[in-house]
Chain A
Amino acid sequence: EAGVAQSPRYKIIEKRQSVAFWCNPISGHATLYWYQQILGQGPKLLIQFQNNGVVDDSQLPKDRFSAERLKGVDSTLKIQPAKLEDSAVYLCASSLEWGRSNTEAFFGQGTRLTVV
Chain B
Amino acid sequence: KQEVTQIPAALSVPEGENLVLNCSFTDSAIYNLQWFRQDPGKGLTSLLLIQSSQREQTSGRLNASLDKSSGRSTLYIAASQPGDSATYLCAVRGNYGQNFVFGPGTRLSVLP
List A residues at the B interface (Cβ < 8 Å): 4, 6, 33, 35, 40-45, 48, 55-56, 91, 93, 98-99, 101-110, 112
State the CA gap A107–B32 with chains docked (Å). 17
Contact with A along B94-112 (1 / 0, CB 8 A): 0011111111110000000
Q: In this assembly, does B86 line the interface, its C-beta being within 8 Å of a C-beta of chain A?
A: no
B102/A44 in contact, CB under 8 A: yes
Are B41 and A101 in contact (CB-based, < 8 A)?
A: no
- Nearest first, the 10 A-B pairs at minimum CB distance are A42-B102, A107-B44, A107-B43, A109-B43, A101-B51, A45-B99, A101-B32, A110-B43, A42-B104, A104-B49
> Which residue from A33, A48, A110 sits with its C-beta under 8 Å from B42?
A110
Q: Shortest Cβ distance from A38 into chain B, in angstroms?
A: 10
Among residues of A, the one whose C-beta sits closest to the C-beta of B46 is A104
B89 at the interface (CB under 8 A from A): yes
Tell me the complex Cα distance, A93–B31, Å.
Answer: 18
Contact A48–B99 (Cβ < 8 Å): yes
- 21-64 of chain B: CB within 8 A of chain A: 31-32, 34, 36, 41-46, 49, 51-53
A42 to B44, CA, bound (A): 11
